[in-house]
A and B are shown apart, each in its own frame.
Chain A
Amino acid sequence: MNVFAIIGRVVLSTLAEIGALTRFVWLAVTHIFRPPFFWRLIAQQMLRIGYFSLPVVALTAFFTGGALALQIYYGGNTFNSESIVATIVALGITRELGPVLGGLMVAGRVSAAIAAELGTMRVTEQIDALTTLSTNPHKYLVVPRVVAAVITLPALVFIADIIGIMGGFVVGTGSLEFNPGVYIKNTVDFLDADDVISGLIKAGVFGFIIAIMGCFHGFNSKGGAQGVGRATTNAVVTASILILAANYVMTSLLFAN
């Protein structure tokens, strides 16, 4: 096999994929603002994406907050650890770990579910059937999922922030025997609204990525059950990578000064 032919084909198919994704995102975004609006479906998706992800996200945040507290305590010097642990847990959770880990957990759950559902609808011609019933599939299927994810992810991450800080508090006051009052005071003193808000902005972007990747791979799946399986895997992998990449970019923009 000719090496250049292979490289050429990979480059071309990657470009084609990026083009298709750009078009898909454009269609999704423009349809968000054009009537009709499917409120019922948005509410239904908010329940599925947001509410049912709560246990996963809460547990992730709790254990991460706890582990972070231990790690800082062991790694730092024990001399003013009491104030350092509380501050770093609060900043670490709200700025980075809450949104990123929350986003990744939801990506695993929700991107996969969306890709599997829409992929099945694609291969059984249900998406084509929508078109013939005067219903735009982008509006009916993609928009509610994207809107619901962009709204619910920040809410989920806000809850994750609280639970993550509580995780640190439980470990700090429990096994590290810090004074609870001092721990809370340190948390409140060092935590700015900006820290929380930057995390919530990230969460909104991650929500968009999660829903779009699920929908895009579902919409483009072909070839029966195997194709749907491939779409599901691709959705989770691409959503996770894009979340980490977008997180890096946003951290460098939001905290530049």
Chain B
Amino acid sequence: MSDAKIELRNVHKRFGKKVVLDGINLTVPKGESLVVIGGSGTGKSVMIKCVLGIIRPDSGEIFVDGKNVLKMDAGEREKVLRKFGMLFQGAALFDSLPVWENVAFGLIQGRKMKRKQAKDIAVEKLAKVGLAAEVGELYPAELSGGMQKRVGLARAIAADPEIIFFDEPTTGLDPIMADVINDLIVDSVKDLGATTLSITHDMASVRKIADKVAMIHKGKIIWAGSRAEVDDSGNDYVDQFIHGRAEGPIQMEVLKP
């Protein structure tokens, strides 16, 4: 148990009648990169938001560094949240603030750093994701989708977090930009020595950034193993997913209303 950075035990969550998480069990070992794969709408984003305390699960336990975050009061929780960085699926940049302030936000608001000093760090992090200092003066609406993702990445790593979550970092990008982002993730993680939990549909991304892989289906983790084991997992669900076949045990609910 000692090397588990994050652990979810039997986590359940439903919205109204719709069961989204149906007993999730998942461990992210310290310093490793776990990638969760699974179809659209299977609850991947909801799972991450449960760990971050944005969504409260109905039952189950979530441990970060061995402490149950669901039993903490607001103050303790805020302290735990400082360990996290998060890249949102849609980047979720603050559109009322210029790019550099987006990147520096956690430093200025969360850690009370002086604006001047925070801006220097923001520019440095922007450079790390391949963006010039001038981009820092633009507003998020003036950026392309790929640039927004990169700014989101810079924001996620700005405060040197111990744990980083990436929610579909490459979705909606061209293959080359996707590869650039994958490299950035690998590099930033190596630099920071962080523990990461990523979500993706993109097998190229899995092969590049994963140490371990887990597959989620209908609110449960149905398979977990190392990256090397993905290709001969012997699991029909995993096989169908990584080869992108319409035929197989996973039935897309396209015909039902």
The closest CB in chain A to the CB of B97 belongs to A126
Q: Are A134 and B106 in contact (CB under 8 A)?
A: yes
How many Å lie between the Cα of A136 and that of B110 in the bound state? Answer: 9
Q: Report which of B49, B85, B95, B111 forms a contact with A128, defined as CB distance below 8 A.
A: B49
How many Å lie between the Cα of A128 and that of B87 in the bound state? Answer: 11
Q: Are A132 and B84 in contact (CB under 8 A)?
A: yes
Cβ distance A104 to chain B, nearest Cβ, rounded Å = 27
Chain A residues within an 8 Å CB radius of B52? 128, 131-132
Chain B residues within an 8 Å CB radius of A3? none
Given A133-B105, A134-B110, A126 contacting B93 (CB threshold 8 A): yes
Contact with B along A111-142 (1 / 0, CB 8 A): 00000000011001110110111111000100
Given A132-B84, A134-B78, A125 contacting B92 (CB threshold 8 A): yes
Among A36, A124, A125, chain B packs the most CB atoms within 10 A around the CB of A125
A-facing residues in B54-106 (Cβ within 8 Å): 54, 78, 81-82, 84-86, 88-90, 92-95, 105-106
Q: Are B106 and A128 in contact (CB under 8 A)?
A: no
Q: Report which of B49, B53, B95, B109 forms a contact with A133, defined as CB distance below 8 A.
A: B109
Cβ distance B77 to chain A, nearest Cβ, rounded Å = 10
The closest CB in chain A to the CB of B54 belongs to A128
Q: Report which of B81, B92, B93, B94 forms a contact with A134, defined as CB distance below 8 A.
A: B81
Chain B residues within an 8 Å CB radius of A132? 52, 54, 81, 84-86
Q: Are B105 and A135 in contact (CB under 8 A)?
A: yes
Cβ distance A156 to chain B, nearest Cβ, rounded Å = 24
Is the interface on chain A under 10, 10 to 19, 20 to 34, or 35 or more residues? 10 to 19
Chain B residues within an 8 Å CB radius of A36? 112
Cβ distance A123 to chain B, nearest Cβ, rounded Å = 9
Q: Are B54 and A134 in contact (CB under 8 A)?
A: no
Q: Are A135 and B88 in contact (CB under 8 A)?
A: no
Q: Are B109 and A124 in contact (CB under 8 A)?
A: no
Q: Are B82 and A125 in contact (CB under 8 A)?
A: no
Q: Are A129 and B94 in contact (CB under 8 A)?
A: yes
Q: Are B88 and A133 in contact (CB under 8 A)?
A: no
Cβ distance A78 to chain B, nearest Cβ, rounded Å = 57
How many Å lie between the Cα of A131 and that of B93 in the bound state? Answer: 13
Q: Report which of B54, B93, B110 forms a contact with A135, defined as CB distance below 8 A.
A: B110
The closest CB in chain B to the CB of A136 belongs to B78
Q: Are B109 and A125 in contact (CB under 8 A)?
A: no
Q: Report which of A121, A126, A128, A140 forms a contact with B109, defined as CB distance below 8 A.
A: A140
Chain A residues within an 8 Å CB radius of B49? 128
Chain B residues within an 8 Å CB radius of A126? 92-95
The closest CB in chain B to the CB of A131 belongs to B54
Cβ distance B187 to chain A, nearest Cβ, rounded Å = 21
The closest CB in chain B to the CB of A120 belongs to B95
A-facing residues in B102-131 (Cβ within 8 Å): 105-106, 109-112
The closest CB in chain A to the CB of B49 belongs to A128
Q: Report which of A125, A129, A134, A140 forms a contact with B111, defined as CB distance below 8 A.
A: A134
Given A126-B95, A128-B49, A140-B109, A134 contacting B82 (CB threshold 8 A): yes
How many Å lie between the Cα of A126 and that of B140 in the bound state? Answer: 12
Chain A residues within an 8 Å CB radius of B84? 132
How many Å lie between the Cα of A134 and that of B89 in the bound state? Answer: 19
How many Å lie between the Cα of A121 and that of B106 in the bound state? Answer: 17
How many Å lie between the Cα of A126 and that of B95 in the bound state? Answer: 9
Cβ distance B237 to chain A, nearest Cβ, rounded Å = 29
The closest CB in chain B to the CB of A125 belongs to B92
Given A134-B111, A135-B109, A129 contacting B92 (CB threshold 8 A): yes
Chain B residues within an 8 Å CB radius of A134? 78, 81-82, 106, 109-111
The closest CB in chain B to the CB of A140 belongs to B109
Chain B residues within an 8 Å CB radius of A136? 78
How many Å lie between the Cα of A129 and that of B52 in the bound state? Answer: 10
How many Å lie between the Cα of A135 and that of B86 in the bound state? Answer: 14
Q: Are B86 and A129 in contact (CB under 8 A)?
A: yes
17 A–B contacts, CB within 8 A, in A order: A120-B95, A121-B94, A124-B95, A125-B89, A126-B93, A129-B88, A129-B93, A131-B54, A132-B84, A132-B85, A133-B105, A133-B110, A133-B155, A134-B106, A134-B110, A135-B105, A140-B109
Q: Ordered nearest first, which 6 A-B pairs have the shortest CB separation?
A: A134-B110, A125-B92, A133-B106, A129-B92, A132-B86, A135-B109
Known A128-B92, A131-B54, A134-B111; 17 more pairs at CB < 8 Å: A124-B92, A124-B95, A125-B88, A126-B94, A126-B95, A129-B86, A129-B92, A132-B54, A132-B86, A133-B106, A133-B110, A133-B155, A133-B159, A134-B78, A134-B110, A135-B106, A136-B78
Q: Give A residues with C-beta under 8 Å from B.
A: 36, 120-121, 124-126, 128-129, 131-136, 140
